Amino acid sequence: MEELRLEARRGRALVEESREIVVVLDQNKRVVAASRRARELVTGLEEGALAPAALREAPLSISYEVDGRQETIVYARDSGDMAAYEELRAGFTAAVSHELRTPLARVLALLETATLPGSDVIELVEQAQGEIDTIRELIDDILFLSELESGHEVVGLGTTPVFPIVVEIAESLEEQAARAGVTIEVEADEDAELPLRPRMIRVVIQNLAQNAVRYAGPGARLLLSVRHEEGGVELVAADDGVGVAEQDAARLFERFYRTDRARASRGTGLGLAIVKHVVTSAGGYVEASGALGRGLTIRCFFPDV
């Protein structure tokens, strides 16, 4: 009985402290429980009373059975949040359409050129394959980011030693880095752990490293470091390459945002957005600093829990 009471209190706290509008309804659409934010924003919301029509018709709801009784948990947003979400969704859709249209136009142009007399067909087809690889990478990143934001992809389940993964990623990128003229070095506390699944650590480190390999420029040195700091663990990717303008540094984590140099290189414009989402979902934060000609440093910090 004590265990059941504990579970009941835990469930009540999960609903109560949610930052979203969360309401539990019984089979007659009457309110069983509601989060504090729901009570603050939804007029006429009282336990035992019929839920307002807007909640009864909310698109995001989950039905389940408890001790033979049917209940529904409803998630909603206030009108301001919904308007902002719709604006963000529309902007994201437009950006995706633009980003896909560009490589598709290149593929079409290359294939049309390949039909002309005297064309180097093999070279043109190889270039077209490169553009298709870009499209595939973009689609994969869009789907992965969507899974992260929808909660379908779990970011953290306990902690994971990070040193072996940093070494693994650095070694896997050696050939690509050599072609770009970038040297990768690793410095890490071997006992450091991050509150992420191994796959998510690989995603973060690989995106940080590839960003430097693609854009730091020939002769650059990339240092991947993981160390204990006061209050947590930090993961840093610091290069001494061409850098970015100071006004660009704060925008590097925006979806599809790329500096002028980055626009001339292959890349989806989503790598650092994915890094930010994974890090913040695990309770950490990420920041970028640098200047033109003085490299770029991206710091991810994970506070102790």
Q: Best-predicted range by mean pLDDT among 20-29, 106-115, 197-206, 232-241? A: 232-241
Together in a domain, 289 and 178? yes
Same structural domain, 125 and 210: no
Q: State pLDDT tens for residues 5-47.
A: 776 677 667 766 666 788 888 888 888 888 877 777 777 778 8
Total domains present in the chain: 3
Is 155 inside any structural domain?
no
- pLDDT of 183 strictly over 80: yes
| H runs (alpha helix) in 72-194 | 79-114, 121-150, 163-172, 174-180
Where does the pLDDT of residue 150 fall: very low under 50, low under 70, confident under 90, or very high at 90 and above?
Answer: low
180/299 same-domain check:
yes
H or E element at residue 298:
strand 296-303
Beta-bridge partners for 139 = none
Residue 131 in any domain: the answer is yes
* Band (85; pLDDT cuts 50, 70, 90): very low
Taking the CA atoms of residue 85, residue 281, residue 211 and residue 96 in that order, the dihedral angle to the nearest 10 degrees is -20
Q: What is the reported pLDDT for 75?
A: 79
Same domain as 203, residue 136 = no
Helices 198-215, 163-172: crossing angle, 10 deg rounding: 40
Does 44 share its domain with 90? no
Domain CATH for 127:
1.10.287.130
**Tokens representing residue 187 in the block:** 């410095």
User: Are 171 and 282 in a shared domain?
Assistant: yes
Last residue in a domain, options 44, 60, 76: 76
| Of residues 208, 195, 211, the one with CA closest to residue 280 | 195
Q: Please check the confidence at residue 92 and state whether its pLDDT lies above 60.
A: no
Tell me, yes or no, whether 171 and 279 share the same domain.
Answer: yes
Higher pLDDT, 52 or 55: 52
Instruction: Tell me which of 248 and 178 has the higher pLDDT.
Output: 178
Return the number of other C-beta atoms located less than 10 Å from residue 32's C-beta: 17
Tell me what the mean pLDDT of segment 261-278 comes to: 67
Q: Is 237 left (phi over 0), alpha (psi -120 to 50) or beta?
A: beta
**In whole angstroms, what is the distance from residue 191 CA to residue 211 CA?**
26
Q: What is the CATH number of the domain that holds 58?
A: 3.30.450.20
Residues 143 and 206 in one domain: no
- Residue 50 is classified by DSSP as B
Sign of CA dihedral 10, 12, 18, 24: positive
222: which residues sit within 8 A by CB, 6+ positions away?
Answer: 177, 182, 183, 184, 185, 209, 212, 213, 216, 237, 238, 239
For residue 6, give the H/E element and its range.
helix 2-16
pLDDT of 155 strictly over 50: yes
Question: For the residues 244-254, what does the mean pLDDT come to?
Answer: 80
Q: At which of 120, 150, 180 does a domain end?
A: 150
Q: Are residues 202 and 181 in the same domain?
A: yes
Per-residue pLDDT, averaged over 157-170, amounts to: 87
Average pLDDT of the chain, as a whole number: 78
- Report how far residue 281's alpha carbon sits from residue 156's, in angstroms, rounded to the nearest whole number: 8
Paired residues of 239 in beta bridges: 222, 296
Helix (H, G, I), strand (E, B) or coil at 72: strand
pLDDT at residue 86 above 60?
no
| Range of weakest confidence among 57-61, 250-254, 270-274 | 57-61
Q: Is the pTM of this model over 0.75?
A: no
Question: Domain residues for 146?
Answer: 80-150
Structure tokens at 233: 């663990």
pLDDT in tens, 205-239: 988 999 999 889 999 999 999 999 888 999 999 99
Show which of 76, 111, 137 is a domain's final residue.
76
Q: C-alpha dihedral over 40, 43, 47, 50, to 10 degrees?
A: -150
> Across the strands, what pairs with 290?
296
222 and 296 housed in the same domain = yes
Q: Which two tokens stand for residue 293?
A: 């000609």
CA distance 198 to 159: 9
